[in-house]
Amino acid sequence: MTDFTDVDYFGDESVADDTYPYFDFLLDGRRVWREPYHGVVMVAGHEEVLAVLRDTASFSNCNIVAGPSFRFPVELAGDDVTGLVEQHRDELPMSDQIITFDPPKHTAHRGLLMGLITPKRLKENEEFMWRLADRQLDAVLPGGQCEFIDDFAQPYTLLVIADLLGVPEEDHEMLLARRGIAQMPGARPGAVSEQRAAPATSGHNTLEIFYDYFSEKIAERREQLKRGVVSGRKA
């Protein structure tokens, strides 16, 4: 078995090319192991992972985007680490996104989103995904090669979620154009420096470029609902 003790999991291309040997290395006596490059605790054992996921009082999702290079704004020490996380959460990258939330906030937001995932809506979304897959392949195949994540996977995922949220297809090209702006160098999710991240208002959330669009759509939807209620009462 390869000894990965001196290999940077987050930066070594050989690990990115084939991750499974590294996982085998962890499972061979290192189910909970602090790697030497970033001080990140790698949790590989099944029971150990479940213990972390279930203990939301001790473990947080707050840096799930920022990753190993991010330094928390203050030292996480003392008896109230949870309080420190909540006090400084807004200073972390993409702190307004559900993936960085912890219970009970995460639970409440997830409950709202689950209302979208009805069998009927998922069936409609699946039909769109089949069409979109063909469309994305038509876009990348003529070039003979592509960078799979940037050229296929990310735009595909963006449009699948957009469709699930009810974004009309005539707006999809606009969303892709905005995504292109958001992915300019230094603007990718998690692309934070070794130093403290800027506050959320300083543009370190690469989804901000979509906020005005969705805010307008929400406002339009609310107005439609209001008119529907008024019409119903008159009827």
Q: Burial, 154: exposed, middle or buried (Cβ in 10 Å; 0-12, 13-18, 19+)?
A: middle
Q: pLDDT tens digit string along 105-139?
A: 999 999 988 887 889 989 999 999 999 999 999 99
Considering the domain boundaries, does residue 6 fall inside one?
A: no
Tokens for 113?
Answer: 């989103």
Round the CA-based radius of gyration of the chain to a whole number and report it. Answer: 22
Q: Which of 11, 67, 4, 58 is nearest to 35 (CA)?
A: 4
pLDDT score at 231 = 65
The secondary structure of residue 186, as a DSSP letter, is T
Give the whole-angstrom CA distance, residue 187 versus residue 175. Answer: 16
DSSP secondary structure of 131-185: HHHHHHHHHHGGGS---IIIIIIHHHHHHHHHHHTT--GGGHHHHHHHHHHHTST
**Is residue 49 classed as helix, strand or coil in its secondary structure?**
helix
User: Alpha-carbon distance 173 to 42, whole Å?
Assistant: 39
Q: What is the pLDDT of residue 191?
A: 43
Q: What are the phi and psi torsion angles at 207 (to 5°)?
A: -90, -5
Q: Which has the closest alpha carbon to 35: 58, 64, 12?
A: 12
Residues 84 and 193 in one domain: no
In a domain, 152, yes or no: yes
Query: In this model, does residue 43 exceed pLDDT 70?
Result: yes
Is 210 found in the same domain as 105?
no
Task: Mark whether 82 and 20 lie in a shared domain.
Answer: yes
Is residue 7 one of the residues assigned to a domain?
no
Number of domains in the chain: 2
pLDDT in tens, 92-105: 888 888 999 999 99
Tokens matching residue 165: 């949220």
**Same domain? 66 vs 124:** no
Statement to judge: residues 138 and 217 lie in one domain: yes
Q: In this predicted structure, what is the pLDDT of residue 183?
A: 56
Same domain, yes or no: 218 and 171: yes
Of 45, 77, 111, the position where a domain reaches its end is 111
Q: Is residue 133 part of a domain?
A: yes
Count of CB atoms within 10 A of residue 95's CB?
20
Coil, helix or strand for 192? coil
Closest C-alpha to 94, from 176, 195, 175, 206: 206
Amino acid at 153: A
Task: Indicate the SS3 state at residue 226.
Answer: helix
Task: Note whether 193 and 83 are same-domain residues.
Answer: no
- Which two three-digit tokens encode residue 115? 């209302």
Range of the domain at 169: 116-234
Q: Is the pLDDT of residue 158 over 50?
A: yes
Residues 65 and 126 in one domain: no
Instruction: Choose the final residue of a domain: 73, 90, 111.
Output: 111
Other C-beta atoms closer than 10 Å to the C-beta of 133 total 13
Tens of pLDDT, residues 173-221? 888 887 765 554 444 434 444 443 443 334 456 677 788 888 888 888 7
Question: Confidence class of residue 26 from pLDDT cuts 50, 70 and 90?
Answer: very high
Q: What pTM did the predictor assign?
A: 0.69
